[in-house]
Amino acid sequence: MPTIANTAPAPLSDHWADETLTLLEALIARPSVTPQDAGCLELIGERLSALGFALERMDGGPAEARVSNLWALKPGTDPEGEILVFAGHTDVVPTGDLNHWHSDPFVPSIRDGKLYGRGAADMKTSLAAMVVAVEHFVRKHAKHRGGIAFLLTSDEEGPALHGTKLCVEQLRARGQRMDYCIVGEPTSVQQLGDTVKNGRRGSLSGRLRVLGVQGHVAYPQLARNPVHEAAAALAELVATSWDSGNAHFPATSFQISNVQAGTGAGNVIPGDFWVDFNFRFSTESTAESLKSRVHALLDAHQLRYELSWTLSGQPFLTPVGTLSQALSAAILHHTGVQTELSTTGGTSDGRFIATLCPQVVEFGPLNASIHKIDEYVPLDQLGPLAAIYAKTLENLLL
């Protein structure tokens, strides 16, 4: 459905944009390529501490690739009040060839109404807007009933083993309650607020090794070509309909990402054939059902093979409810946009948080430039984004 703008946005002071921009520029100037945090959490922590948040570092991982994590909590006046968590990551992907950038990716630069820099869209704008939103909310509502928390990591763009996943495990072990969570992923497609993610597909990867017998191409009877033997099975895997999806998720997809065989010589039959593939799966399938079907198919083709699996995340879904309604109302109030709920796209740390928190959604600025050269955020989205987060706090915690 097309996005409908049917109300005039509420007037907004320039302070929202100015404050968000100042913090955003400071965050972009910190070259926090995964797993480096480069001081982003210290900067954010100082702002939260001044508001009365209790800060707890939950760093993890090996010394050579240490991950920075922060859990910050400010209880409300009601011990039984709901807790809203703002979640996100300070790490960014590598810049690529600096010669292709029109300005230094770690020197925030404004051109033609946009702020350029690595992490501008994914996701330092959201982090800055969340902090500014909470500052405004706490100043206006010092005795807020519900609690506010931040769950931040420097390991989302990388392996994601010692970041949010680790924090959630520790928080679960101590019985920490979460009622709502907004992950600041850049979800907007054409205009701010047009898309909110209320779920994500699961991700299951396989690494297949088909075993053959190496030999001379002129004597195929003395060898066994694993590429030839695997061809029919791979074609069937590609053609298989794994499920039809449902009202919330598209059909499960299967994609081959890498293949490798041979010695590089043109007269040698390879002895091994390696294939990497991935499932993005809906709630109509499970990791175990997909594994079982793949093994059955390979066995039916009488292949000799080895297959290892990596489950990056289970699918999750937050049905329409208190959180999505509060956020949608805030978006409509400040942008006039009627938002659409979606489960498309890749994985996020929401998959870990959803195992502890019953309502998880993702919302942030325009995603057109994420992971690209000259990543940017439109300046006119900064103030409204912070105001939307603050309005959502009002809708839920007062």
**pLDDT (tens digit per residue) in 171-216:** 999 999 999 999 999 999 999 999 999 999 999 999 999 999 999 9
pLDDT band for position 1 (cuts 50, 70, 90): very low
Confirm or deny that 375 is annotated as ligand binding: no
Catalytic residue list: 91, 156
Judgement on whether residues 15 and 164 belong to the same structural domain of the protein: yes
Of the listed ranges 42-51, 232-241, 338-347, the one predicted with least confidence: 338-347
Residue range of the domain that includes 229: 202-313
Judgement on whether residues 149 and 70 belong to the same structural domain of the protein: yes
Judgement on whether residues 53 and 90 belong to the same structural domain of the protein: yes
Boundary of a domain, candidates 270, 297, 313: 313
Judgement on whether residues 125 and 102 belong to the same structural domain of the protein: yes
Total structural domains within the chain: 2
Judgement on whether residues 215 and 348 belong to the same structural domain of the protein: no
Judgement on whether residues 150 and 286 belong to the same structural domain of the protein: no
Confirm or deny that 334 is annotated as ligand binding: no
The mean per-residue pLDDT over the stretch 280-306 comes to 97
Burial of 252 (0-12, 13-18, 19+ CB in 10 A): buried
| pLDDT given for residue 2 in this prediction | 42
Confirm or deny that 122 is annotated as ligand binding: yes
Judgement on whether residues 138 and 170 belong to the same structural domain of the protein: yes
| pLDDT of 77 strictly over 70 | yes
CATH (domain of 168): 3.40.630.10
The pLDDT > 70 percentage for the chain reads 98
Boundary of a domain, candidates 288, 313, 338: 313
Judgement on whether residues 321 and 389 belong to the same structural domain of the protein: yes
Q: Measure CA 194 to chain center.
A: 18
Judgement on whether residues 234 and 181 belong to the same structural domain of the protein: no
pLDDT band for position 345 (cuts 50, 70, 90): confident
Confirm or deny that 333 is annotated as ligand binding: no
Nearest CA among 95, 82, 94, 36 for reference residue 61: 36
Boundary of a domain, candidates 260, 278, 313: 313
Phi-psi region of 172 (alpha: psi -120 to 50; beta: other; left: phi over 0): alpha
| pLDDT given for residue 44 in this prediction | 98
Confirm or deny that 248 is annotated as ligand binding: no
Judgement on whether residues 178 and 284 belong to the same structural domain of the protein: no
Residue 360 CB contacts under 8 Å (≥ 6 apart), including other chains: 180, 181, 183, 198, 316, 318, 323, 350, 353, 354
Nearest CA among 201, 247, 246, 198 for reference residue 359: 198
DSSP 8-state assignment for residue 366: B
CATH (domain of 308): 3.30.70.360
At 104-126, the pLDDT tens digits run 999 999 999 999 999 999 999 99
Judgement on whether residues 123 and 25 belong to the same structural domain of the protein: yes
Residue 12 CB contacts under 8 Å (≥ 6 apart), including other chains: 334, 383, 384, 387
| pLDDT given for residue 25 in this prediction | 98
Judgement on whether residues 11 and 136 belong to the same structural domain of the protein: yes
